Chain A
């Protein structure tokens, strides 16, 4: 017994190439849509993860200190400003503070790096407090340093690869004649730490003659603390700059909002194209079948049957296109990631585009809804065909 659905399906197979092309169009639109939705959810997550991975909510730096390591490296470390170590104690004195970790960034010129030398960045850390804040740092080999002034180093994953060092190897600190032993190599964390060489803060101070100096302090406050009020309080300390991670998040989010609007517009255009494509395909197939539809009506089809028949076709087209597009976007997620990364002002380290089943279903739902909307006109056009006109004429007219 023929069913409306079966008739619709067989009709789509009649013009295979046309149906395929329409499906490709819908799939492309779905790809854009899924990627966009995936970006919307992935970016926020990824950004939050990056910032939470810092392990502290507030970063205190010396006044005028650029807080991006990349900027430091470009400037060859000349932008570094120092604060006295004693600030650590005054910060610690506040009962709202849960944990404090001092850091000393040092950037040196290494003539052995690359062909004509390059800069290397060291981060002097406190082995007693730093690992506690950065619990996500996991060792590939080895462990953190034993003593506050140990002549030892821990390499980030990429730094170890670049310098070709393993646990037990020696490493000559550039611009000095001091050798340190590599005691640990970290696993890839997908953060800035991958490219960093960690030394005990005291060692950096001693080797580079920076006694009692640090570049920044990471502060973790307890949960009840009102961050904004606390930051205000920090400014009472002289010559410091407070970098609030919440603030950084906001700034970056604002930048991203602009990019998002752009991506949205692209998605909207893609959707419109798919819509026109579906409408065109289905309308063509209605016009070509003018007589067939007239015959169906003379055989007892109600207006609603014809409407459904044509609607089924758009549902099928958009459903198949939606599935293909979702699978495509899942397979091409890394490519999409790179593509989006290239247009963004700042990208977090972990995946920008996060696609899951729920999201794919959502996108398929949207695409199908769009298909249904674009199917209304052709379906209505077909439904109001009068049998007699169809039987008399050869083709439909708009």
Chain B
């Protein structure tokens, strides 16, 4: 594992409080954490402990209530000040790839179009070359012209991974990427993540209930009630 000590994500005293009527839910309750470049981190913990919320905060998909977040030396949130929407979008394009628990493929688009979806919004060099490389690596090259509904769950997840990686992200965020898959498919995805981390040096942060997947990560971070254990 090629982990160096260069920090790619730094969070300090990060909080996310949901207000539902008079009830305040501290979904993320003061977490301070660094992730280094090339690290492979797994968030584990009981349901409702705030894993998904934290992942979304790290991925700049959600705004924290308090605390600060720095990604690749850029201040994203600090003392209630937030990067503007435009810069946030650019940051997401440049740094992040997301894999969600439900694959969220666009049902009307083919596998190939789904993978290339980000380029409907912006251009990037050698997109097609990268697509070819990814689909071969993920074993879906023969499925490019199919619609998502014609794929198995494992194939759909691999398409979602390919889409997350098409922009050559520095950080891959995955929320229970094996949640809908059987153990054989889970092992496949686990293998792919390890390969991506080792061979391409991509920083991976994932949330999982799957022990095998969590153990394959270099670092396990346990949460409970919005706090690190």
Chain A residues at the B interface, C-beta cutoff of 8 Å: 1-4, 6-7, 10-11, 13-14, 291-292, 295-303, 305, 387-388, 391
Q: Is B100 an interface residue (CB 8 A)?
A: yes
- A300-B104 contact given A2-B113, A391-B61, CB 8 Å threshold: no
Instruction: Kindly list chain B residues whose C-beta atoms are within 8 Å of the C-beta of A299.
Output: 92, 98, 117-118, 121, 163
**Residue of B117, B118, B163 with most partner-chain A CB within 10 A:** B117
Residues 94-144 of B contacting A (Cβ, < 8 Å): 98, 100, 104, 106-109, 113, 116-122, 127
- In chain A, what residue has the closest Cβ to B123? A1
> Which listed residue (A3, A4, A296, A303) contacts B85, Cβ 8 A?
A303
- A298-B121 contact given A2-B113, A291-B104, A391-B61, CB 8 Å threshold: no
Cβ A300 vs Cβ B167 within 8 A: yes
Q: Is B209 an interface residue (CB 8 A)?
A: no
Cβ A300 vs Cβ B107 within 8 A: no
What are 5 pairs between A and B in contact, CB < 8 Å? A1-B116, A4-B120, A11-B108, A298-B92, A388-B56
Interface size band for B: 20 to 34
Cβ A300 vs Cβ B121 within 8 A: yes
Q: A298-B59, A300-B92 are in contact. List 8 more A-B contacts (CB 8 A).
A: A1-B119, A4-B120, A7-B109, A13-B108, A14-B107, A300-B89, A300-B122, A391-B100
A282 → B minimal CB distance (Å): 16
A206 → B minimal CB distance (Å): 85
- In chain A, what residue has the closest Cβ to B90? A300
Q: Is B86 an interface residue (CB 8 A)?
A: yes
Chain B residues at the A interface, C-beta cutoff of 8 Å: 56, 59, 61-62, 85-86, 89-90, 92-93, 98, 100, 104, 106-109, 113, 116-122, 127, 163, 167
A7-B113 Cα distance, complex, nearest whole Å: 9
A129-B120 Cα distance, complex, nearest whole Å: 75
A11-B107 Cα distance, complex, nearest whole Å: 9
Instruction: Kindly list chain B residues whose C-beta atoms are within 8 Å of the C-beta of A2.
Output: 109, 113, 116-117, 119-120
A13-B109 Cα distance, complex, nearest whole Å: 11
B100 → A minimal CB distance (Å): 6
A291-B61 Cα distance, complex, nearest whole Å: 13
- In chain B, what residue has the closest Cβ to A15? B108
- A300-B62 contact given A2-B113, A13-B108, CB 8 Å threshold: no
A338-B131 Cα distance, complex, nearest whole Å: 61
Cβ A300 vs Cβ B118 within 8 A: yes
